[in-house]
Amino acid sequence: MRVGVFICHCGSNIAGTIDVAKVAAEMRKVPGVAFATNYMYTCSEPGQDEIKEAIKREKLNRIVVAACSPRMHELTFRRTIEKAGLNRYFLEMANIREHISWIGLDKEANTNKAIESVKMAVAKAMNNKPLYSQSFKVNKRVLVIGGGVAGMQAALDCADGGLEVILVEKSPSVGGMMARLDKTFPTIDCSICILGPKMVDVAQHDKIKLYAYSEVDDIKGYVGNYQIKIKKKATYVDWVKCTGCGACMEKCPAKNSYDHFNFGVAPTRAINIPFPQAIPKKAKIDPNYCRQFVKGKCGVCAKICPTGAINYEMQDEIITEDVGAIIVASGYGLVDMDKFPEYGAGRYPDVITGIQYERLLNASGPTEGHILRPSDKTEPKTVVFVSCAGSRDKSCGIPYCSNFCCMYIAKQAILTKDHIPDSQSYVFYMDIRSPGKGYDEFTRRAQEDYGAKYVRGRVSRIYPKGKKMVVVGADTLLGTQVEVEADLVVLATAVTAAPGAPQLAEKLHISYDTFGFYVEGHPKLRPVETNTAGVYLAGCAQGPKDIPASVGQGSAAASKVQALFSKDMLESDPAVAKVNENTCVGCLKCIMTCPFGAVKEKELRGGRIVANVIETVCAGCGVCTATCPCGAIQLSHFTDNQLLAEVNTICQK
């Protein structure tokens, strides 16, 4: 065994707090190490050339690179050694940057830790075996989950590139949150006017198959070959027959149904088409309110419908689609008002949320674009906007910034003045965050041209006083207490992960953060990838962001899928579980625990039953290896013996 060790300085990132020359010198004393050196930037072209040359010159057959996280450059160095003729799995990395130099200032302690860490990597490398990938065919169809602006953009870009797209939208129409907005910052152009045509394109594109009011039920398979079970929820209206004429909605006697599209600003009918531009423009029954379901008799819509589309007996339906890649664009949710007892916790009708206000501003909203207070339907003259309702508030469990509220508050203040010229808006804010192109100018315009009064401070309490709502807050710039008697209060409620986001992540086997937002492959360099091959992210599902950023991610995710599908065959990762048939006792416990269903029973010629891993399905998670009592199932590249070699290196003195 001839191991070569390359210690990277990473400029001063590593060399600043680790004596890299000493680490290299120590490695030269380790049995099996034939060559050890340190270099300024190992990942640079000359750095990689040095590795290749050393492999030839020193006849090295195992390589250890001590540098940054393998997440960063493992692939880089695997390719390097492969070019020099070694199996790519003969590479081992020691992460002496994120794990050592970045987290400690004591150079001596760091150096000692680095020496141990690199020794462990050497021990592992000496136990590494050559592994070989298999190639398999790619199914060039893509599933997009979520039909908001991000998902639609991704679907259209994929379809325009010639790929077949399956678009699954949970609600009855595509459009997402953007379809609910009135105008959009910073240009104040009508939201549905720019979104509507995209929605129509989605509906009419011959490469896009849209499943609205549907959810992903189950996902099986792996990059290139997924089997997706889609649950089409019962709408109780046959969408093939429904023409979207709306006659049913007019006649439905259940007039007090909750309007999900309008976030409950006004009631809707039990049978409804969510909004005039809905795609598909089809009716659906809400069985929580429909009299036929609640009371067992009504049938008005069935009588009125000219095409006989109503079907009270309809059941959920499961459809299977095969795809090769998945784009997740499931968007965001908003925190509930009842999180805010100090703001009345949703008890005062004239304290509403930003998205509800969008609906009041919107010409196709329940008030036809007239701003009317929910309590008495009068025009508010004093409107108070409260930013960061929940956001950046650790006590609310939401330490992060919701990204776009500052901007939409400015937009809504401008629109308020446009709608009601003698009105006055107040904005309570913590900081104004408007770093986008033209954004700061926009928030200034709200103040300077539209006279919105910005008060820097948190609102401590809101309470009713006659017909008014009194907003009590601090002005931290003046150091005084402020009270405003408002007609209407708008809370910029914090953005949360979409409802059900963690459950969807589990189905997709992607990671999510503490808040339920999906975690990207790398915060800078892989913003739309996940750590699961074949699954990409777009829009607010990854974190709060505005429309331009969501659209940009939609296109980016689509281009990633195009790149993936540019090949007909993909290579499997050989770092998967493998069963030693000689020692497997056939207890089949591994089958019970494998979260991917990758282990199957196999009968050997003598009739003995053993476990068998389907290589392409195995995700290399290692759950089975922890289950197997006799160690018969081992994860290639992370075998017990490989890990034990590392442990023994630091434990045996």
Partner 1 sequence: MGPEKMKEIITDVLKDVDVVIGYKQGFDKLHATPCFINKAEQIEEIIWSPVCVQNLASFLPSLKAKKVGVVVKGCDSRTIVQYMQEGLIDRSKVVVVGIPCTGVVSVKKVLDKVNHQPIEDVVFEADGAILVKTPAGETKLSLADVSPDKCSTCLYPTPVVYDHLAAEPIKSVKAPEDVYKDVEEFEGKSLEERKVYWEKEFDRCIRCYACRNACPMCVCQDSCIAESRDPHWISQKSNLSEKFMFHMIHSIHLAGRCVECGECERVCPMGIPVNALKKKLNHDMKALYNYEPGVNPEDKPPMYTFSVEEKKIEEHKL
Verify binding: residue 643, ligand SF4, rule CB under 6 A: no
Q: Three-state DSSP class for 389?
A: strand
Shortest reach from residue 621's CB to partner 1, in Å? 10
For residue 505, report the phi and psi dihedrals to the nearest 5 degrees.
-60, -40
Order of strands across the sheet with 535-537? 208-211, 164-168, 141-145, 325-328, 535-537
Residue 633 binding: pick among ligand SF4, partner 1, ligand FAD, none (C-beta 5-8 Å cut-off by kind): ligand SF4
Q: Which neighbouring-strand residues pair with 127? A: none
171 binds, among partner 1, ligand SF4, ligand FAD, none (CB under 5 to 8 A by kind): ligand FAD
Provide, rounded to whole angstroms, the least separation between the CB of residue 32 and ligand FAD. Answer: 51
Question: Which partner, ligand FAD, partner 1, ligand SF4, none, binds residue 414 by CB below 5 to 8 Å per kind?
Answer: none
Helix/strand/coil for 250 = helix
Query: Measured from the CB of residue 352, what is the shortest distance to ligand FAD in angstroms?
Result: 11
Our CB check for ligand SF4 shows the closer of 43 and 643 to be 643
Q: How many CB atoms lie within 10 A of CB 98?
A: 14
Give residue 571's identity as a one-letter amino acid code: E
Two tokens, residue 192: 């549905």
Shortest separation between residue 513's beta carbon and partner 1, angstroms: 9
635 binding partner (options ligand FAD, partner 1, ligand SF4, none; Cβ < 5 to 8 Å by kind): ligand SF4
CB 268 within 8 A of CB 253: no
For partner 1, the binding residue among 2, 22, 207, 589 (CB under 8 A) is 589
Residue 540 touches which of ligand SF4, partner 1, ligand FAD, none (CB < 5 to 8 A by kind)? ligand FAD
Interface pick for partner 1 out of 345, 569, 592, 650 (rule CB under 8 A): 592
640 contacts partner 1 (rule: CB under 8 A):
yes
Tell me if 575 sits within 8 A of 620, measured CB to CB.
yes
Rounded to whole angstroms, how far apart are CA atoms 346 and 352?
A: 8
Closer to partner 1 by CB, 331 or 374: give it: 331
394 vs 335, 360, 391, 400, 497, CA distance in Å? 14, 31, 8, 9, 16
Among the listed residues 587, 638, 643, 644, the single contact to ligand SF4 using CB under 6 A: 587
The token duo for 295 is 């009371």
Q: How far is the CB of 153 from ligand SF4 (least distance, A)?
A: 33
621 contacts ligand SF4 (rule: CB under 6 A): yes
Under rule CB under 6 A, residue 635 binds ligand SF4: yes
The Cβ-side half-sphere exposure at 330, using a 13 Å CA radius, reads: 27
| Residue 132 CB neighbours (<10 A) | 10
CB of 580 to ligand SF4, least distance (A): 8
506 binds, among ligand SF4, partner 1, ligand FAD, none (CB under 5 to 8 A by kind): partner 1
Quick check: 526 and 560 in contact, CB under 8 A?
A: no
- Is residue 630 a contact residue for partner 1 (CB under 8 A)? yes
Among 209, 322, 627, 638, binds ligand SF4 (CB under 6 A): 627
Using CB under 6 A, pick the residue from 599, 637, 646, 649 that binds ligand SF4. Answer: 599
Q: How many other C-beta atoms are found inside a 10 Å radius of the C-beta of residue 342?
A: 12
Closest distance between ligand FAD and the C-beta of residue 403, in Å? 8
Phi-psi sector, 308: left (phi>0), alpha (psi -120 to 50), beta: left
Alpha-carbon gap, residue 90 to 78, rounded angstroms: 8
Sole window of 12-20, 49-57, 410-418, 633-641 interacting with partner 1 (rule: CB under 8 A): 633-641
Distance CA 568, CA 177 (A): 37
Give the residue with the Cβ less far from ligand FAD, 233 or 602: 233
Q: Exposed (0-12), middle (13-18) or buried (19+): which is 229, by Cβ within 10 Å?
A: middle
Q: How many residues bind partner 1 (CB under 8 A)?
A: 28
Least Å distance, CB 622 to ligand SF4, is: 5
Alpha-carbon gap, residue 147 to 175, rounded angstroms: 6
| Cα 249 to Cα 289: distance, rounded to the nearest angstrom | 13
Tokens of 506: 């589990």
* Side-chain half-sphere exposure of 478, counting CA atoms within 13 A: 9
CB of 154 to ligand FAD, least distance (A): 9
Contact 509, 534 (CB under 8 A): no
Cα(239)–Cα(213) distance, rounded to whole angstroms? 11
Count of beta carbons in the 10 Å neighbourhood of residue 649: 19
Task: Out of 587, 602, 616, 620, name the contact with partner 1 by CB under 8 A.
Answer: 587
Site for ligand SF4 contains 645 (CB under 6 A): no
Q: What is the binding site for ligand FAD (CB under 6 A)? A: 145-151, 168-171, 176-178, 181, 184-185, 215-216, 329-332, 354-355, 358, 404, 408, 411, 498, 500, 504, 539-540, 545-547, 550
613 binds ligand SF4 (CB under 6 A): yes
**Of all helices (H) and strands (E), which one includes residue 482?**
strand 480-486
End-to-end CA distance of the chain: 22
> Least distance to ligand FAD from the beta carbon of 378, Å?
23
Q: Which of 3, 432, 632, 645 binds ligand SF4 (CB under 6 A)?
A: 632
Q: Which of 152, 272, 242 has its CA nearest to residue 200?
A: 152
Partner interacting with residue 516 (select from ligand SF4, partner 1, ligand FAD, none; CB below 5-8 Å by kind)? partner 1
Tokens of 428: 């309570």
Q: Contact letters (x/-) for partner 1, 537-576, by CB under 8 A?
A: ----------------------------------------
Site for ligand SF4 in 550-579 (CB under 6 A): 576-577, 579
Q: What is the distance, to the nearest Å, from the Cα of residue 384 to the centroid of all Cα atoms in its chain?
A: 32
Q: What is the C-alpha separation between 456 and 595, in angstroms, rounded?
A: 50
- CA dist 437 to 32, 70, 164, 406, Å? 57, 36, 35, 14
Q: What does 330 bind: ligand FAD, ligand SF4, partner 1, none (CB cut-off 5 to 8 Å by kind)?
A: ligand FAD
Residue 140 Cβ, how far from ligand SF4 at the closest point, in Å?
25
Task: Please tell me what DSSP assigns to residue 360.
Answer: H
Q: Does 301 bind ligand SF4 (CB under 6 A)?
A: no
Contact status: 91 vs ligand SF4 (CB under 6 A)? no
Residue 584 sits in the site that holds partner 1 (CB under 8 A): yes
Residues that bind partner 1 (CB under 8 A): 502, 506, 512, 514-516, 580, 583-585, 587-589, 592-595, 623, 627, 629-632, 634, 639-641, 644
Residues that bind ligand SF4 in the complex, under the rule CB under 6 A: 576-577, 579, 584-590, 594, 596, 598-599, 610-611, 613, 618-624, 627-628, 630, 632-633, 635
